[in-house]
Amino acid sequence: MTALKLSKVCKSFGPVEVLKNIDLTVEENEFVVFVGPSGCGKSTLLRVIAGLEDATSGTVEIDGEQVNTVPPAKRGLAMVFQSYALYPHLTVRGNMALGLKQAGHPKDEISRRISEASRMLSLDDYLERRPAELSGGQRQRVAIGRAIVRNPKLFLFDEPLSNLDAALRLNTRVEIANLHRQIDASMIYVTHDQTEAMTLADKIVVLRDGRVEQIGSPMDLYNNPANRFVAEFIGSPAMNFVPADMIGGPKGTYFGIRPEYATHSETGALSGTVVHVENLGADTNIMVDIGTGKPFTIRAFGQHRVEPGAQTGIAFDQANVLAFGEDGQRL
Amino acid sequence: MNKARRNPFNIAAMHGALILYTLIALFPVFVIVINSFKSRKAIFREPLALPDAETFSMIGYQTVMKQGDFFLYFQNSMIVTVVSLFFILLFGAMAAFALSEYRFRGNTLMGLYLALGIMIPIRIGTVAILEMMVATGLVNTLMALILVYTAQGLPLAVFILSEFMRQVSDDLKNAGRIDGLSEYTIFFRLVLPLVRPAMATVAVFNMIPIWNDLWFPLILAPAEETKTLTLGSQVFIGQFVTDWNAVLSALSMAILPVMVLYVIFSRQLIRGITSGAVK
């Protein structure tokens, strides 16, 4: 059963085309992440799904029903915003109850759902507080709670973690993953952070300039990127690109080598000067200038003593090299 | 806080300047109030002296109470001011919400058109307004004044409020939409409370000119039963003789209600209620 189906969705603001022919399906209980650089249209796409923006053309189907003209509240979805967007004049309980009251649910049903959600998100102690009296992390949990109580078939997350600090971001990421396991619903999650995308998603949608670049499971995108953009965007540190003719390939094409597949050694197909070394403890990132303008990154596991300025060779297994054509497409 | 601000000399200078300004601003009001409690002779003999046992007199207040229906004037002024403010705030906020929230053809043009009134004094159109009021039979009704003051206040209200409403987070309004709130509920329950300080500013800016206006009451509603306080007080000022006791008493009483309204609105100006709504 498909939870959401987009066909040929376009959106333009005046002369500016933000979304161009988006086709996408989300299966039931699937966790889909939209990822892409800022301005690629991922938030707009989410808003079109939510019904906050109308699609200029194309159709949006939720649960097999076309919802192009259905107002947001009747689409059976809930949304968590980057800025939390809590109602400042209501308590945490009031924030969670408002949508249900509006939909006309009975009182005992509302309080049952709120206590269930607050238990899941450990918000029990804060139910009578106002948003102003909560920390950033607590506010974000309230925003998630407000989404849960509506019992939606589809959750929409719009960069929910980007206002949190690094430690809290990791915790909340795990909470969202747990939530997905506990709740019987599909989730769509928008982020520009590829780590969030890789760790949470069943399926990643990579967007650029309003177009879908590639759709696939995280490992699919990592191992088999369709083009140079996806290859560069997925994976950290980013993939290295070397003009193919430097190592005996056809002129004009590029070879892509992931930093973790390259090793520094005495000999190797490439060689250059070490310009910078990042010691992370578990692994070491070595950046080598090989004369292409952009340093070649080697991710070496464990700790290595390498000094900037040293000469080194770079070795890699031909099996792990991806070839890209002049137009950036995979060969 | 920086060092310069903590310097005792600077603090003294700052407070000195503020106190001086307060005294200058309050002085005329003070003179009006003390003289309203003095006999006519005492007013002219020593205008700045406080009323004492010999010079104390309530004659001014008695005249005001006896002559003309002062409470009716008072009520008229109050009705005109409060109702005009209500309409200015309601329609101003609604127009501002539409301009800041919805994308439609001619949005900018409409905004400019609505703001144009700030630059054109409404009194230029007095003759046309009077003709319109005569044609619609609204002359000598409070409605005439309310309509004119609402029109006079709207441009600035729309201009100020639309700027403030643009700052209200889109996410908050969208969260409301997803929760099934109607556009009206979003406007009244989410947006209006967040722009309350701006509403209070608009209210204060509009209130005082309306309360003090003499021009339109004199032209549009000079009948006895629709006189406003300012117009009513004019009966004591003659071409040759002015009953100063009565004028000063009437003015003293006219200050009170507008001061109460100002206190109510200025509390709203100060109160910051929105912190923590969105990060």
Range of the domain at A89: 2-231
Residue B253 to chain A, least CA–CA distance (Å): 38
- Same domain, yes or no: B203 and B158: yes
Last residue of a domain, one of B14, B33, B57: B57
Residue of A nearest to B275 (CA): A132
Q: Is B115 on the interface with A (CB under 8 A)?
A: no
Q: Which residues of B touch A158 (CB under 8 A)?
A: 171
Q: Do the chains contact at B179 and A98, CB–CB below 8 Å?
A: yes
CA B260/CA B81 separation, integer angstroms = 13
Confidence of residue B279 (pLDDT cuts 50, 70, 90): very low
- Same domain, yes or no: A171 and A313: no
In A214-253, the residues whose Cβ lies within 8 Å of chain B are none
DSSP state of A295: P
Determine which of B39-48, B205-214, B260-269 has the lowest per-residue pLDDT on average. Answer: B260-269
- Same domain, yes or no: B137 and B204: yes
Determine which of A97-101, A288-292, B238-242 has the lowest per-residue pLDDT on average. Answer: B238-242
Collapse the DSSP code of A247 into the 3-class scheme (helix H, G, I; strand E, B; otherwise coil) and give the result.
helix
Interface test with B, best of A83, A114, A153 (most B CBs within 10 A): A83
Q: Is A46 on the interface with B (CB under 8 A)?
A: no
Q: What are phi and psi of B239, to 5 degrees?
A: -70, -35
Q: Is A88 on the interface with B (CB under 8 A)?
A: yes
Q: Is A15 on the interface with B (CB under 8 A)?
A: no
CA A8/CA A23 separation, integer angstroms = 5
- Same domain, yes or no: B39 and B162: no
- Is residue A171 pLDDT above 60, yes or no? yes
Residue B184 to chain A, least CA–CA distance (Å): 13
- Same domain, yes or no: A143 and A274: no
Residue B272: what pLDDT? 43
Residue B274: what pLDDT? 42
- Same domain, yes or no: A211 and A248: no
Range of the domain at B123: 68-270
Strands A154-158, A186-191: pairing is parallel
Q: Do the chains contact at B169 and A83, CB–CB below 8 Å?
A: yes
Whether residue A329 lies inside any domain: the answer is no
Q: Do the chains contact at B175 and A73, CB–CB below 8 Å?
A: no
Whether residue B275 lies inside any domain: the answer is no
Residue A212: what pLDDT? 93
- Same domain, yes or no: A86 and A205: yes
- Same domain, yes or no: A198 and A254: no
- DSSP states of A145-192 as a string? HHHHTT--SEEEEESTTTTS-HHHHHHHHHHHHHHHHHS-SEEEEEES
| pLDDT over 70 percentage in chain B | 94
Whether residue B277 lies inside any domain: the answer is no
Q: Do the chains contact at B277 and A132, CB–CB below 8 Å?
A: yes
The model's pTM: 0.79
Q: For the domain that residue B233 is a member of, what is the CATH number? A: 1.10.3720.10
- Same domain, yes or no: B50 and B137: no
Whether residue B63 lies inside any domain: the answer is no
- Same domain, yes or no: A181 and A249: no
Whether residue A45 lies inside any domain: the answer is yes
- pLDDT (tens digit, 9 = 90+) per residue, B98-120? 999 888 888 899 999 988 888 88
Cβ pair A93, A129 in contact under 8 A: no
| Section A239-248 average pLDDT | 88
- Same domain, yes or no: A12 and A113: yes
Whether residue A15 lies inside any domain: the answer is yes
Residue of B nearest to A132 (CA): B276
Q: Do the chains contact at A89 and B273, CB–CB below 8 Å?
A: yes
Asked if residue A243 has a cis previous peptide bond (ω within 30° of 0), the answer is: no
Q: Who contacts B76 (Cβ-Cβ below 8 Å, separation ≥6)? A: B142, B226, B227, B228, B229
- Same domain, yes or no: A226 and A260: no
Total domains in the fold of chain B: 2
Residue B262: what pLDDT? 82
Q: Do the chains contact at A87 and B275, CB–CB below 8 Å?
A: no
Structure tokens at B217: 């009451």
Whether residue B85 lies inside any domain: the answer is yes
Q: Do the chains contact at A84 and B278, CB–CB below 8 Å?
A: yes
- Same domain, yes or no: A203 and A303: no
CA A77/CA A61 separation, integer angstroms = 12
- Same domain, yes or no: B122 and B227: yes
Q: Is A98 on the interface with B (CB under 8 A)?
A: yes
- Same domain, yes or no: A105 and A199: yes
Q: Which residues of B touch A126 (CB under 8 A)?
A: none
- Same domain, yes or no: A137 and A259: no
Residue B270: what pLDDT? 60
- Same domain, yes or no: A126 and A177: yes
- pLDDT (tens digit, 9 = 90+) per residue, B47-56? 888 888 888 8
Residue B269: what pLDDT? 66
Residue B102 to chain A, least CA–CA distance (Å): 11
- Same domain, yes or no: B31 and B129: no
Last residue of a domain, one of B31, B57, B83: B57
Total domains in the fold of chain A: 2
Whether residue A202 lies inside any domain: the answer is yes
Confidence of residue B57 (pLDDT cuts 50, 70, 90): confident
